[in-house]
Amino acid sequence: MALAGPVPVTVLRAAQFHEFALQMLTRFGGPVAVVPAMLSQPVAAREVAAELVHLAGGEPRGMATELAGPEPLQMADLVRRVSREHGPRKWVLSFPLPGRAGSAMKSGGALPDGPGLRGTQTFDQWLAALP
């Protein structure tokens, strides 16, 4: 792991990007998008990029404060909205992943652990700006 290595580093843990919903919709062909049951707090990729640039200009600090978006949302709902408003039109099937990891994802295990940096662009704003 980079944090345990001899070279000082900074690691930024970030939530899923808004674009993840579009990727899940378009990853496979066909009329159905299969999406894991997942509570997420998506963040704008540009806000993560800006924080990475900021961190790169400073001294290594190990684990940086995690970065997430402004609101927790269900991933299947985000994928449905992208499908409805921008296409491709698909039926979105949400399912719980098996095991502890799947249970954690469904109940918010991918949400930030505590206070930290929060992006300002909402999913609605990102969606409205799609070409």
pLDDT in tens, 115-130: 899 999 999 999 999 9
For residue 1, pLDDT over 80 is answered with no
Block residue for tokens 């295990």:
109
pLDDT value at residue 99: 95
For residue 131, pLDDT over 90 is answered with no
Residue 68's beta-bridge partner residues? 118
Q: Return d(Cα 54, Cα 38) in angstroms, integer.
A: 30
The two three-digit tokens of residue 23, written as one number: 């990727």
Q: Return d(Cα 89, Cα 111) in angstroms, integer.
A: 28
Neighbouring C-alpha atoms within 13 Å toward the C-beta of 21: 30
Residue 33's beta-bridge partner residues? 92
Report yes or no on whether pTM surpasses 0.85: yes
pLDDT value at residue 121: 98
Q: Which residues contact 58 (CB under 8 A, 6 or more apart)?
A: 10
Q: Return d(Cα 6, Cα 35) in angstroms, integer.
A: 39
pLDDT value at residue 113: 84
- The predicted-structure confidence for 67-98, as pLDDT tens digits, reads as follows 999 999 999 999 999 999 999 999 999 999 99
Q: Return d(Cα 48, Cα 101) in angstroms, integer.
A: 25
Q: Are 79 and 20 within 8 A, CB to CB?
A: no
- The predicted-structure confidence for 17-58, as pLDDT tens digits, reads as follows 999 999 999 999 999 999 999 999 999 999 999 999 999 999
Q: Percent of the chain having pLDDT more than 70?
A: 100
Q: Are 48 and 19 within 8 A, CB to CB?
A: no
